Amino acid sequence: MRGFTTLEVLLSIAVLIILSAIVIGAFATFRDARELDRAVDEIFTLVREARSRTLSSEGDSQFGVHFETSNSVLFKGATFTMGAPNNKTLILSNRVEIFAINILGSDVVFERLTGDANPSGDVSVRLKADPSESKTIIINSSGLIYVQ
């Protein structure tokens, strides 16, 4: 007698399904972690761009960043104006959110010539699916930016 019995085929299929579930779960976790890293990198880059544009005195102006739960906006001038033509909006992935904005007024503006941040503070980003996975972007008073 040659071939496979029905029981052997069903067991093989069950093993494949279990292995597939494990791999898919691991991939989802990896994808979410990369999504958090990407969001933090994009916000970090936006803040750094605002500081660089201020230090280079682009348009004889200063620049800042406005933070909201689902986006961040680079703006020109000392105050944020919604919908201004010079605004550059970074919309975050729907898998992440800014959940803590510890900056007075949700805006950080960089001073011309020195690049000092006014006010300083931090912004925390987390995964919506796993709130325990988070990272914090710190902007100190001298305008330097760190990720924790």
86-125: pLDDT as tens digits: 999 999 999 999 999 999 999 999 999 999 999 999 999 9
Q: What is the pLDDT of residue 1?
A: 61
Give the integer Cα–Cα distance in Å for 33 and 24: 14
Give the integer Cα–Cα distance in Å for 134 and 137: 10
Q: What is the pLDDT of residues 38-81, one digit of tens each?
A: 999 999 999 999 999 999 999 999 999 999 999 999 999 999 99
Could you give the domains of the chain?
Answer: 6-147 (3.55.40.10)
Give the integer Cα–Cα distance in Å for 81 and 44: 21
- By the 10 Å C-beta count (0-12 exposed, 13-18 middle, 19+ buried), 132 is classed as exposed
